[in-house]
Structure 1
Amino acid sequence: MVLHFEIWALVIALLLALQHPVLVNSQNLTCNSDDFAGLNGFINGLESPIDGWSTANSSCCDWVGVKCDPSSGRVVKLELPKKRLTGNLTDSLFNLVHLQTLNLSHNFLKGPLPVSVFHLPNLQFLDLSSNEIIGDLPVSINLPALQELDISDNSFTGFLPSGLCVNSTEISYLRLAVNNFTGNIPPQFGDCSFLEHLCVASNFLTGDIPEFLFRLPKLRELALQDNGFTTITGFGNSSRSNRLVRLDVSSNRLSGSIPDVFLDFPNLSYFAAQSNRLSGVIPPSLSSSPAISSLNLRNNSLGGLIDFDCLKMVNLTSLDLGTNNFSGTIPEKLASCRKLKALNLARNRLRGQIPESFKNFESLSYLSLSNCSFINLSSSLKILQHCPNLTVLVLTMNFHTEQLPSDDDLQFKSLKALVIANCRLTGSVPLWLNGLTDLQLLDLSWNELTGTIPAFLGDFKSLFYLDLSNNSLSGEIPKNLTELPSLISRDISLQEPAPDFPFFTKRNSSGSRLILRYNQIMSFPPSIDLSSNLLTGPIWPEFGILKKLHVLDLKHNNLSGTIPSSLSGMRSIETLDLSYNSLTGTIPPSLVNLSFLSKFSVAFNNLSGSVPNGGQFPTFANSSYEGNRGLCTGGRAVYPCERTTLPELTPRKTKKNIGKVVGMAIGICFGTLILLGLVFMVVVRSTGRQEVDPEIEDSYNDDDKNDEFESQVVLFNSSSEWLSIDDVLKSTNSFDQSNIIGCGGFGLVFKATLPGNQKVAIKKLSGDCGQVDREFQAEVETLSRAQHPNLVLLQGYCKYKKERLLIYSFMENGSLDYWLHEKSDGRSTLDWTARLHIAQGAIRGLAYLHQSCEPHILHRDIKSSNILLDENFEAHLADFGLARLILPYDTHVTTDLVGTLGYIPPEYGQASVASYKGDVYSFGVVLLELLTGKRPMDMCKPKGGRDLISWVIQMKTEKRENEVIDSFIFNKEHASEMLSVLEIAFACLKESPKLRPTTQDLLSWLDNVGGLETS
């Protein structure tokens, strides 16, 4: 028996050895004349030749990407992906009648697709994805041998081809995603009996999701997200033999109830239906499905009781029911879902207590129950402490007016983030927190806690975010808060993967009503926020050793003493707010060394002397210094240093009398100021703790009798003949906080719909505009002439009272920063082709500003949050040129030096002026973001990984470039393109500005990825 096996093995080996030379030698065959004519016609349609092709050589079987059948000599494969091909496809491909595989994906082919491509009788695999092909597909597609078709990421229009499965009966893989198809899914798709994968995501399809799709006997993956489907009634009456594993119908317009048909899908493990308009209850067949592992129904109008049969749902690991209308209590049996790792029930109408059974959640890692009406916090914590793997616990806006438990026996061994904010809890900061040795984030803000801040908080080795603001805590700031290792140098890291839903919603620290959403702990900036309490004592000089701290907020307390000059050691600080205290002395000149400081306030203290006149200080508004009668700020601010002295007294007055008069005047003024100050502090403290921030109250309703100028709305190149200020106010609901869609250094951005249903974004400029009306108008009109497809166009402006408003085109998909770092599925949605396209669009816009626009414009703040995406994910640069509209001391973005931490060129720290090469450096950081999916600065990464640039350079030094690429996009097929873009990024990030490329160089390189020559 063994001998027979060896003989057969030898025979097989000989056959394989003989076969391989035959395949190689077959490539020396002379081309069939029809095939040669077809390939010759194909290359004639291109705008540039293909390397390795020569029409003078009739042996086309030797050409790159061409494979011939060794027996017949006919062309059977044409594979030229990622060859940077440009031009149009021609009908000559019809000559390749023996062609089995055609792969021209990831090129720049354009124009309509010739009908002849759909009449190749032997074609089995057709991949034209990631090109720029336009036009409609033919109704009749005659490809009887077709098995796989991918035309995703193009610009096809019209209806889906109804005849596809009529003639291509064996097709198993069909991707039509990211196009502009409209209409319904044709009923003929129900004839695709061999179809296993169907993706029509990100189109403009409407109508019903048809029943016949769910009766396809071999279908395993169905992706219908990001369309306009309205009903899911066709989901029912399907065969029990259905093999469907993944179903995504998220981000549509589905309404009505979810059909109770999930027993017909015994293999369905992933079901996503978030961001629709679904109502009713969760059907029993879904809430008891044994195969489901991930269920996302967030952001709908589902209601009723939460009722899951976890004895059957043995594979459920992720459950997101957030932002719905579920009511009642959490059922005890939910804890029987033993494999559940992530649970989000936030923003529902749930009440009652957290069930006792939750202590049986052995795998639970993330739990968010915020914005409900739960009671009995003490019991809840005693129960949840038994979850051994609980990492993140968010209980915000529950347990109203209860007492924060002080039980010493509470223990959470694995907890890294604890958020119990905005509950109006009484009591004190409990001692049991001392046992949370792995704590990284603690938020007990917006409660009514009293007592002192416990010193043990400074002993946490990993704590980098502490928010105890808006309480009534007293005493001194514990000195050992200045010794938090993670804010000095210690590296911390989250090992757990982030959940697929937002656990955190956080009020923006800038004072606006903008709500920030975070999917993971590492998104939070390293912060200490002790504002709006009753703290006394000094600001410790040792705060200066916290080199990694980004935010220090101590406003609205009773702190005294001087501002330590050692605070200049906080090298990463972006926000330093010491306002509304009782500080004395001067502002230390050493603070000019805080290069990243973007928000600074010492308002309403007892400071004196001159404001430093270097670093970022010339960029801060007058409001940063007001309320300090002894403080002077040169010749430009509220209290100039060159003040008028008291009138000279008559000669009869002696020096002693003068002293008495001055003393009495000072005494009276000082007493009056103290009285007014006490009244002011009472008013401020009573209003400063309100949930609705008063700082952004509508200023447009005030009756200003001293208007500097007449209200005026000017639109550029608009079909609207006239627009009134009332139209602007109405379109934003008088600039109500619910319309805020962004917040930046230049002010808040509001979404608005003007008459005629025109969507726009209106930016309300912060600070004082330095020009008079005529200058402001001239500057705005200059910016309006910057017209390019990759810029956010300035459509008009409005002057109302003392406010200046800019009207921009509305970008449907928000910012690149949102998709890369905030949106739960953003990184997976932006594949490599999309990211490269965004980079190419952004550099086109920047090159226009630098070289074509008259006058040329420096951007000064290139970053991912200033790259906005329209409905087709085209990139548009925002906020260009705005520094020219604002006085340098009224915004942290100056006319010379600007930037955001992580994007700022190294030369900007040497008192240089902003430059075109500085914009290039910042663009290089954006390229790294696109490649890695990581933020430029991340405090939660291991050593060397906090600073993205340093980490990537180190990985390159170690020859590990492949490892820096985002796992969501990395594959061997695109590896060379990604590494080429990485080299382009390195060129942008060179230390010397002179060695960096121009934007024109970058435009050429990115349009021809892979053509960069590095030195």
Structure 2
Amino acid sequence: MRPLFAFLTFTVTFLICFEVLVVSSLNNKDSQLLLSFKACLPDQSVLQSWVPNQDPCSFNGVTCQDSKVSSIELSDTSLSTDFHSVAAFLLALENLESLTLLKANISGNISFPYGSKCSSLLTSLDLSQNTLSGPLSTLSTLGSCPNLKSLNLSTNKLESSGEEQTRGLQLSLEVLDLSFNKLSAGNLVPWILHGGYNDLKLLALKGNKITGDINVSNCKKLKFLDVSWNNFSMGTPSFGDCLSLEHLDVSANKFSGDIGREISSCLNLNFLNLSSNQFSGRIPGLPISKLERLYLAGNKFQGQIPLYLTEACATLVELDLSSNNLSGMIPSGFASCSSLESFDVSTNNFTGKLPIEIFQNMRSLKKLVLAFNHFSGPLPVSLSSLLKLEVLDLSSNIFSGPIPVSLCENPTNRLQVLYLQNNYLTGSIPASLSNCSRLVSLHLSFNYLEGSIPTSLGTLSKLKDLRLGLSLRCCSNNLRYMYIKNDGRKECHGAGILLEFAGIRQEQLNRISSRNPCNFNRVYGGHTQPTFDNNGSMIFLDISYNFLSGSIPKEIGTMPYLFILNLGHNDISGNIPQEIGNLKGLGILDLSYNRLEGSIPQSMTGITLLSEINLSNNLLSGMIPETGQLETFPASDFFNNAGLCGVPLPPCGDPVAASSSEHRKSHRKQASLAGSVAMGLLFSLFCIFGVIVAIVETKKRREKQDSALDVYMDSYSHSSTANTSWKLTGAREALSINLATFEKPLRKLTFADLLEATNGFHNDSLIGSGGFGDVYKAQLKDGSVVAIKKLIHISGQGDREFTAEMETIGKIKHRNLVPLLGYCRVGEERLLVYEYMMYGSLEDVLHGQKKAGIKLNWAARRKIAIGAARGLAFLHHNCIPHIIHRDMKSSNVLLDENLEARVSDFGMARLMNAVDTHLSVSTLAGTPGYVPPEYYQSFRCSTKGDVYSYGVVLLELLTGKRPTDSADFGDNNLVGWVKQHAKLKISDVFDPELMEEDPMLEIELLQHLKVACACLDDRHWRRPTMIQVMAMFKEIQAGSGLDTQSTIATDDGGFNSVEMVDMTIKEVPEGKQ
């Protein structure tokens, strides 16, 4: 018995040891493969826990089953390796079932190294958000993974090769995601489904350029199909017997005609998105038994809402029928939609009153959008029963009567956005609106509201966007951005003509009461949403050029994030409050042309970020504070303050000396008389001596200049490459002409110095030519380099006019403007001396000869866009007089050594009068491709024309294309080309170099494209000002996007609106702009 027991014990022990040995061997093999993969990484510290002689099951990202590696998850880890390393080591793990390398910086083609094998147990492979490239046909190599069921290759750079037409994808997959690649082949869907792979349950091809048709009729197990944002256009998609289909998204393609009847057989659909196509006719019968979300927006559907849709109320959660041609009334059957959360029928032709019973039962409704229709009658009181409502948009209809007092009566409401603008509402603003404590945005403009603005609105702590239209008073400290300017005519002053920038429409101008017609094109005012902090402080406040009176309130000090404060040109009196020193972030302060008195508060010395200040033309007195930076500003910023003294103004007088007696004054007079006689004699002697010296020196200088001129003229006349356009009349006298300069180092320059520095204005020194003249590079004797512009001959302009304009331009200094250093007149020639810009123009760097040497990534382009906008904004809003550029283009945006944008040639146009906003010219201003459409109708230039030209420059930065190029656009131009692509796939317009830099940049590029679209609106009054453009850029930098309703033109007068959430392109019908 004992021997048998011993034998059994030995056998069991042996088997356990053998199993341990086998497991140890397998574990050792897994460890070797994992460590070999780590050795391929350029930065091995990213897998710091993967070390030898350790159990691989303890490695970070590794999961084991039965002591064998079964799963690896290394998402958001910068591995920086190629697919070959992944295939050779990770996929070779014998027991690997799942591998996830999402956003792990994997590159290269999808192919296996020779002799490599794939785990037979692998079922899931996720390589999304990497930079994998190569033809899609290489996916067939994954056939060596026999049990692979789920493959995610979305957001990579895979392309179509053409081989897809001959052989199918030999993979038995259940899940395949190829979204956001560079696939463009036709009939790609049949290739994927070739061979009758009926096991496919999920197919995602979103965000490519695939053409052809969609036929998935044989995929009876298919549950999820997303082919949105492609170029499918061949009729109606075919779904056949897809009885299992639950999620179908074909939005943003080019499908047209009627929706096929086959879709009605997809009875299990719970998500259906057909938006942004060209489907027409009436809304057909759709499977509604399980439908939860239905999107039909942005098509051409006509007729009324079919009654059968109300039968889906038991399950329907979201319904979007916006931007179609639907008409009639909203069926009362929707009253039974108790589960509906979002209802959007905006931008249609619906009419009639809103059925009261609808809103009594929609207790789950969170979003109700009925804007841009023809709804009429009073606002239903039953709206107050929708306690879960967060967004209510009833704007741009013909609602009348008062705003229901009960709308916010229940304090438990969740309303955040209330848009009632552009209706016919009457009465006063209910004070009960303050009960909507969560309100962020409130728009009531363009109605017939009257009375005072309730002070209780000031208690809305979250309110960041308040638009009350024709009202000047404001009680809320939560506004982010406001600027208001009057027309300038007596009959147009006051609140009666103040217009918001957002939503100005020509038909609204007729609804403004005024005794006399006003020039509304000259109204300057607006309200938008730039960067905003949590405490509700605006960052920009400009209410200059009004008739505001009273004193500056102390509460101004409670706005610590204020960056620009302009109260100039008003009738403000009293002292400057000490609290203004709390504005630590203030960069620009303008209090000029008021009746401010007293001293400049000492607290202002603590404002260390000031770059511009203007306190001139007031009644200020006392000494300018010596500490801080106030004394570093020019004296002109403090002029016309009779009692003000101290640096930079003359020093303050001695009070004792000022009160001296009459006896001392008489004694001084006698002493000064004797001193004057003595000084007169000495002065006469000095004058005689000075004349003798001057004659001798002049003779020597003339001899030297004559010799120099002979040399220059001799070499010039014998040079075959000389600039033959240069003519010098009275040359020998001209050499001694001094430059009128604005910089101290240049004050001793003469024309002879310029002639020598450019080798007689030789073509070798020519660095550019433009509409105003040629530009030469000149190196002066002290080694400094300047740019000299030799203007074309200006007919009809006298010396006095030229000098006056140059003296004005020379005083304009800004970090984003090319400063004028000096000028001179030589006969008929006009020479301007500018600071030299190392990298030349944006046109050269982006399109021209310097493109190969300088690569502009997106960070550099964004910096240039913001810099150019800042410079143009300074010309439009901060210069006195204001300046219209008239020829804004990429060749007039120069780049310094830090690639900082500098706007040039701004002084070549006539200067705009301080109270005018238009400039009449006799010829068409600007350069083809940059000229706004209104310039072709009249020769009236405006700042909004500059804004349009800037929009073209911004498009150049985004697309990398010239504004006019027959090779790219034919008879069209860049603006028209972008408009065409906006109706297809907007991301196609971006420069491929930017997309290759980082595919995740697309959202930010799209936000900047919105800014360009706003600038390029065909209707000049809808374009933003450059200050507003700057505010939009700040909003993007803050990461909160842009308000598309306030920044993008949405009708056929301009660009289509690009929706941020689903990127749906919507068109607003005529009559709704």
Q: TM-score range by the shorter chain?
A: 0.5 to 0.7
For residue 961 of structure 1, what is the aligned residue in structure 2?
none
Instruction: Map 1:643-792 onto structure 2 (within 5 A).
Output: 643=640, 715-717=843-845, 747=869, 767=878, 781-783=894-896, 786=899
Conservation of the 8 A alpha-carbon contact between 1:526 and 1:551: no
Over the residues paired in the alignment, what is the CA RMSD in angstroms?
6.4
The worse-fitting range, judged by mean Cα deviation, of 46-55 and 277-286 is: 46-55
For residue 557 of structure 2, what is the aligned residue in structure 1?
568
Partner of 2:579: helix, strand, or coil? helix
Change in 2 beyond 3 A, CA 1:777/1:441: closer
Change in 2 beyond 3 A, CA 1:263/1:168: same
- The answer to whether 1:128 aligns with 2:124 is no
Deviation at 1:716, TM superposition (A): 0.9
Deviation at 1:47, TM superposition (A): 4.5
Change in 2 beyond 3 A, CA 1:382/1:130: closer
Q: Whose Rg is larger?
A: 2
Deviation at 1:398, TM superposition (A): 2.1
Change in 2 beyond 3 A, CA 1:355/1:514: farther
Deviation at 1:203, TM superposition (A): 2.6
Change in 2 beyond 3 A, CA 1:164/1:451: same
For residue 156 of structure 2, what is the aligned residue in structure 1?
154
Letter in structure 2 aligned against 1:289? I
Distance across 1 between alignment mates of 2:56 and 2:635: 80
Deviation at 1:526, TM superposition (A): 8.2
- The answer to whether 1:198 aligns with 2:203 is yes
Distance across 1 between alignment mates of 2:432 and 2:233: 51
For residue 920 of structure 2, what is the aligned residue in structure 1?
none
Match among 216, 219, 228 for residue 216 of structure 1: 219
The worse-fitting range, judged by mean Cα deviation, of 712-721 and 293-302 is: 712-721
1:355-409 alpha-carbon deviations (Å, 9 max, x no partner)? 2332332222221222222222xx3232423434333322222227x44357789
Deviation at 1:590, TM superposition (A): 3.3
Deviation at 1:562, TM superposition (A): 0.7
For residue 238 of structure 2, what is the aligned residue in structure 1?
235
Counting aligned pairs with the same residue, the percent is 22
Partner of 1:811: helix, strand, or coil? helix
Conservation of the 8 A alpha-carbon contact between 1:440 and 1:465: yes
Partner of 1:295: helix, strand, or coil? strand
Distance across 1 between alignment mates of 2:894 and 2:263: 59
Conservation of the 8 A alpha-carbon contact between 1:259 and 1:283: no
Partner of 1:585: helix, strand, or coil? strand
Deviation at 1:900, TM superposition (A): 10
Letter in structure 2 aligned against 1:200? L
- The answer to whether 1:268 aligns with 2:266 is no
Letter in structure 1 aligned against 2:149? Q
- The answer to whether 1:28 aligns with 2:24 is yes
Distance across 1 between alignment mates of 2:525 and 2:253: 26
Change in 2 beyond 3 A, CA 1:232/1:779: closer
Change in 2 beyond 3 A, CA 1:266/1:352: same
Distance across 2 between alignment mates of 1:525 and 1:782: 31
The worse-fitting range, judged by mean Cα deviation, of 559-568 and 800-809 is: 800-809
For residue 84 of structure 1, what is the aligned residue in structure 2?
79
1:305-347 alpha-carbon deviations (Å, 9 max, x no partner)? 2335222342111222333333333232233322111222223
TM-score after normalising by structure 2: 0.50
Deviation at 1:61, TM superposition (A): 11
Partner of 1:319: helix, strand, or coil? strand
Instruction: Map 1:514-913 onto structure 2 (within 5 A).
Output: 559-573=548-562, 582-588=571-577, 590-597=579-586, 606-607=595-596, 615=607, 618-619=610-611, 640-643=637-640, 715-717=843-845, 747=869, 767=878, 781-783=894-896, 786=899, 801-802=908-909, 809-811=956-958, 868-869=1004-1005
Distance across 2 between alignment mates of 1:56 and 1:451: 80
Change in 2 beyond 3 A, CA 1:261/1:426: same
Letter in structure 2 aligned against 1:199? A
The worse-fitting range, judged by mean Cα deviation, of 90-99 and 184-193 is: 90-99
Letter in structure 2 aligned against 1:470? G
Deviation at 1:70, TM superposition (A): 8.5
For residue 307 of structure 1, what is the aligned residue in structure 2?
306
Conservation of the 8 A alpha-carbon contact between 1:811 and 1:870: no
Conservation of the 8 A alpha-carbon contact between 1:795 and 1:807: no
Conservation of the 8 A alpha-carbon contact between 2:464 and 2:480: no
Partner of 2:158: helix, strand, or coil? strand
Distance across 2 between alignment mates of 1:436 and 1:892: 29
For residue 167 of structure 1, what is the aligned residue in structure 2?
170
Letter in structure 2 aligned against 1:173? V
Q: How many residues align?
A: 677
Match among 221, 225, 229 for residue 226 of structure 1: 229
Deviation at 1:89, TM superposition (A): 0.8
- The answer to whether 1:293 aligns with 2:289 is no
Deviation at 1:410, TM superposition (A): 8.7
For residue 354 of structure 2, what is the aligned residue in structure 1?
354
Distance across 2 between alignment mates of 1:870 and 1:434: 36
Match among 172, 190, 214 for residue 187 of structure 1: 190
Partner of 1:340: helix, strand, or coil? coil
1:853-912 alpha-carbon deviations (Å, 9 max, x no partner)? xxxxxxxxxxx9999448999xxxxxxxxxxxxxxxx99999xxx999999xxxxxxxxx
- The answer to whether 1:396 aligns with 2:416 is no
1:52-87 alpha-carbon deviations (Å, 9 max, x no partner)? 99999999999998999999x9x9877766472525
Distance across 2 between alignment mates of 1:431 and 1:94: 67
Distance across 1 between alignment mates of 2:249 and 2:58: 44
Letter in structure 1 aligned against 2:396? M
Which residues of structure 1 form unaligned runs of 5+?
A: 1-17, 488-503, 528-545, 647-702, 723-739, 751-761, 787-792, 814-836, 845-863, 874-889, 904-925, 937-967, 969-1015
Change in 2 beyond 3 A, CA 1:315/1:638: farther
Change in 2 beyond 3 A, CA 1:461/1:61: closer
Change in 2 beyond 3 A, CA 1:370/1:61: closer
Deviation at 1:147, TM superposition (A): 1.3
Deviation at 1:166, TM superposition (A): 5.6
For residue 367 of structure 1, what is the aligned residue in structure 2?
368
Distance across 1 between alignment mates of 2:1007 and 2:182: 11
Conservation of the 8 A alpha-carbon contact between 1:231 and 1:256: no
Change in 2 beyond 3 A, CA 1:607/1:368: farther
Distance across 1 between alignment mates of 2:571 and 2:1034: 30
The worse-fitting range, judged by mean Cα deviation, of 740-749 and 556-565 is: 740-749
Change in 2 beyond 3 A, CA 1:231/1:556: farther
Deviation at 1:23, TM superposition (A): 8.3
Distance across 1 between alignment mates of 2:1003 and 2:239: 43
Conservation of the 8 A alpha-carbon contact between 1:599 and 1:892: no
Distance across 2 between alignment mates of 1:608 and 1:935: 43
Change in 2 beyond 3 A, CA 1:298/1:613: farther
Letter in structure 2 aligned against 1:124? L
For residue 849 of structure 1, what is the aligned residue in structure 2?
none
Distance across 2 between alignment mates of 1:319 and 1:325: 16
Letter in structure 2 aligned against 1:304? G
